Structure formats: C-alpha cells, structure tokens
Structure 1
Amino acid sequence: MSPSENTALAALDWLVAMGADDMVGTVPVNRFAPPPVTDAAAQDRIQGQSGPPPKATPTPIAAKPVQPAFGAGPVAAAEAAARVSSLDELHDAMRAIDGGVYKRSAKSFVFSDGTRKAPLMVIGEAPGAEEDRTGKPFVGPSGHLLDKMLAAAGYSRDRNAYITNIVPWRPLGNRNPEPAMVSMYLPFLHKHIELSGPKVVLLMGAVAAKTLLETEEGITRMRGKWREIRLGSGVFDAMPTYHPAYLLRQPHAKGLAWRDLLTVRDRIKA
C-alpha cells in the first residue's frame, strides 16, 4: 500500500472516530466558489453590457418544527418508566422516547446483552462505534477485555451476567454522554435494575458510578468499596471499578480491577 493510501485511510479512520461515519453525497462541493451565473441579463452585465439590475425578491421559507437537542427530558422519561412492568416493555419505552440528537445520529439502539435476571449486572456509560454497529453493549476492544475478565471469574453473558449502559444511543464522537441525556435516561436505568433484580451491580467507570451513586467522588477513591443503590423498597449491592477502556490505556490498573471482580464474585457466592 502506497504512503498516500495509508494517509487517506488514516484520515478516514479519524473521521469515523470523530463521528463522521455517514456519507451525505457522492460529488464534492466547493462551498467557497461563487455560484454559477445562469440568468441571461446577469450574464450581460458581467460582460459589460448595460441594463438595470434585477429587483431582489424574497424567497419564502417554510418554518420547520423545532427539534429538541437533548430529548424529551427526565419528567417524560420517569412517566414512561413508571408504566412498564417487564424488560420487554422497558426496551420498547426507551426506544420510543425522544432521544434528542443522540437518537437521530446513532445507527442502533443498544439496550442490553447477556442473561436476564442474572446475579451479576454490569453497567457502563454509553455505546461506542462498535456497539453502534452491532446493537450490543461492550463488543469493541473494551468489551473483549471485559469478557475475558468475566470468564476468568466464572461469568459470561450466556450464563450468569447481564450487561447494559446508562445511555442506549451512541454519543457523537464517542464522547461521554451529556449530563442532560444521563438525567433523562436515569429513570429507565433505575427501572432496569429493579426489573433485573441482580445480586450485585458492577459499575464500570466514573460516569456509571457517579450517576447511580449520586456522588462527585472520583473512581479511584470509590473503586473496591461496597456501596448501595436504593430504589423504592429494594437495595442493591454495588461495586464501582475501572472501565475496561481505562484499563486498556492504563494496564497497571488491571490488577486492581481484577481484585474488585473477585470481591464481587465472593459476595455473589456468599
């Protein structure tokens, strides 16, 4: 492969990583070039011929409905979540509600993966590019690492682990989900935990831990310490730990995350 091809592929990879992964046209457009002159009178004036300039006429523009940028809001989400009584109903309610710009820009609705009603529920923050393509959470590089960790501790999606995220739509550019979107989907997440009934909730990363534990404490201080998530009359044991994506960037922290997972395993077996 030539250097120019490598450069082009690298530029394409960068555009995909930034969220520009859909082509909107097949012909390049120079936005800085002057528009072509098609009117005969205007063409004559350009060539130096006389003639009065044409009168400008306004172009009518039809008003379009306002599209909310951040979705329906937590009140509408709470009302929708309160009406569901099963995971299937929750899936449909989450998919139906206005997800703002996230829903309009994403390819897939990512609800969950794994075994429903499993003793271990794993919660991340939001889908990435791979998850958006497949419609399943944690299937990219960080998901592969998570699967390896779970398997080493005796857990897997097809037997005894259930996986989801706070937000079901991919944020543009794989950024952390906006606080407005997190707030809107939080009632759904609470209902998701209640309907799943896990023995332990494993919170992957700072966003998931801060959201569900209602704290601004850093993940480094939180990880490895048991917390509780109180939802209505239910109390769920929660363990914050590092996100697999962080572990890929900081391999030295894998031992700490593994220790957290072993602690979770012991609590489930107790």
Structure 2
Amino acid sequence: MSEQPMINNLVLNGTFARHGTSWTATATAPGRVDFSRQHCIITATGRAEQEVPASGGTSYTFSAYTLITYEGAGSARLTFRPSDTSESIGLTGNHGWTHRSITFNTPAGTTGITVQLIGDAGDVWFDNVRLVEDEGTVIPIELIRNGDFAENGTGWTVTLPVGSSVTFHDNRCQANLGGFIEQVITVTPGQTYDFSIEAMTPSGGHGFAIFELTPDNVQQIELRGGGGWDTYTHSLTIPEGIPEFTLRILGETFLVVDNLSLKLSTASANTPN
C-alpha cells in the first residue's frame, strides 16, 4: 500500500505514524483498538475518533485505505456538528488494502466533523485517513481587457483606414466603414476558450469578430443582426505552439459592440492537470 500525501489533511495523524496520538479509542470487551503497527486495527466492537474543524455549506472529500480479515465488518462515519447528521462508508467482507472515498457537502451551520473509524466484527484495519476541503469549481479569468469599454479605448489598438471611424461612448464601441479595434491576448496552447460579444447593427450594418491565430490561421464570426442587440458566441481551440493571438473587431459598415468576453471553457477550467 503506497503512502498518500497528507497536505491539507484536516485529520491529525491520519497515517498513524505516531500510533494513537490525536485519536480517542473505545472498545467493548473482548474488542480492542490497536495502533501499535502504525495502522488502526479494530477487533470486534470498537472505534477510534477525533473531532476536526469544518465549515457549513462546503464540499469535502474523505478517504481512507481499509483492509478486512476474519470476516470483519465496520464503517467510517463522519458526523457533522452540531446537527448530528452524518455520512458513512460501510465496510464488509474480507479484502486486501482498498482505497475508499466519499465527497459530501456539510450542512449549513457546521462547525466541526467527528471522524469515526468503527469496527463491528472481525478485524478492520484503517490507514492514510484523509479529510480535505475540495477546491470547488474553478472560476475562469476574463482574458479580454476592458471588454465592456468602461475605460473607453484603454487596452485596445485602433486602426482607421481612409474614410472609416471608431468611437467610444456610453461604454460601447462603434466602428464604421472598415475601422477596427484589436488587442493581443495571451492564451494556453491546446486549451478551448469561450468567446461572446454583444453587437448591434442598425441601418443594415454588419461587421466581424476575427481571431488571428497565425497569418495563415484566421477564424471569424459575422456580426449581422436585425438592428437590435444580439449576443454572438464562439468556441475557440488554441493550436499547440500558439501562446497568443490577435482579436480584431471590424465594422464593415455600421457596428456597435459591447461586453466582449473570452474565458477558458468550463470543461477545460475544471479538468485536473
């Protein structure tokens, strides 16, 4: 059985390297709780437990290695304080070292968790007992600078071919007759990003959101609506070897844009490395 890292583990002495330190053991004769082999071995009826601090409405993962001999039976139980509700992992039948885990959300108002290792029959062994707070959902970071134009043209480069115009007012950008704005965005090769933009094309206007990954790899979406505000989205996967790309917003005729966003896709953001 491999040793598991104890980083961020709320359980004290979960490897039993210090034998029974931090654990309270009770048993009903002829049952006993033995820590002498740097495991917790519960024979017949007994338990080892400790109280750890916890927060309400939070996701935790509990895990342990278990081994059962002599047709043992038992459980690992987590009792939330002060509600006294619980989660548990039942253990039955002879087996070699097996990894067990359970993920749960604590009730509101939880201040602590009693971790209980329980033996009901035979010999039940425990080791590498862990309780860790889950990191939770990764919130993607916004990659477009000043995408809501709250700072007018800050973060954007403006290009004005002859006869074109680009203006910033009322937290919006208006581009006409070939005028465009752009910015270089740093990304991670191989990752997928979600892009969105709100655009208005009055008077039959239209434009484009252009993603120039390389001079030979350019993607675009057309922004052409019925005159009112429309939301356009695009999924952009970055090829390997591309650490940045240029985002360009082009007003082919009459285009007003607002609330541009580019974030790592939810699936990518929550996939472990």
Indicate the structure with greater helix content.
1
Largest Rg, 1 or 2: 2
| Same fold by TM-score greater than 0.5 | no
TM-score (ref. length: structure 1): 0.24
Higher strand share: 2
TM-score by length of 2: 0.24
